[in-house]
């Protein structure tokens, strides 16, 4: 059974750095084809993809975040960490981590497993 769970602060002050941790089980991020991403959703708004990390440590970022993001993995701890610098009130959102896996016959896998999400509020 695959599960993911996001953890981190619920309230962050503007200009601070946000660090979120995704702790997962049921799969290994050392396995070929596995990747874990972060997606956020401001209240009442659309999903926005943030970052993705692959089993081989390749990384992708949403260019619109202008270099504010860093994604890392610790496969031994089954964790993926996202840091976001220079937080602003517009970054208030529910942050999700999600797993996708490249498999035989699936060229473009979806985000198949999602965490429950973690609401982060940015306010002074």
Partner 1 sequence: SYDLTQPPSMSVSPGQTANITCSGHKLGDKYVCWYQQKPGRSPVVVIYEDYKRPSGIPERFSGSNSGSTATLTISGTQAMDEADYHCQAWDSRTVVFGGGTKLTVL
What six digits make up the tokens of 111? Answer: 């985000």
Should residue 114 be labelled a site residue for partner 1 when binding is judged by CB under 8 A?
Answer: yes
Report 69-98 residues binding partner 1 (CB under 8 A).
96
First and final CA of the chain: distance in angstroms?
A: 40
The nearest distance, CB 13 to partner 1, in angstroms, is 26
Should residue 109 be labelled a site residue for partner 1 when binding is judged by CB under 8 A?
Answer: yes
Look at residue 29 and give its three-state secondary structure. Answer: coil
Contacts of residue 104, defined as CB under 8 A and 6 or more positions apart, other chains included, come to none
Should residue 61 be labelled a site residue for partner 1 when binding is judged by CB under 8 A?
Answer: yes
Look at residue 28 and give its three-state secondary structure. Answer: coil
Where along the sequence are the contacts to partner 1 (CB under 8 A)? 37, 39, 45-49, 52, 60-64, 96, 106-112, 114-117
């Amino acid at each position: 059974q695959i599960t993911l769970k996001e953890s981190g602060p619920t309230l962050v002050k503007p200009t601070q750095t946000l660090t979120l941790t995704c702790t997962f089980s049921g799969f290994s991020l050392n396995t070929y084809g596995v990747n874990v991403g972060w997606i956020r959703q401001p209240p009442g708004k659309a999903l926005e993809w943030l970052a993705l990390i692959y089993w081989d440590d390749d990384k992708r970022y949403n260019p619109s975040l202008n270099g504010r993001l860093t994604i890392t993995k610790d496969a031994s701890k089954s964790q993926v960490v996202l840091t976001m610098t220079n937080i602003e009130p517009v970054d208030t959102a529910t942050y999700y981590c999600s797993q996708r896996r490249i498999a035989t016959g699936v060229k473009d896998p979806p985000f198949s497993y999602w965490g429950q999400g973690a609401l982060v509020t940015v306010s002074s």
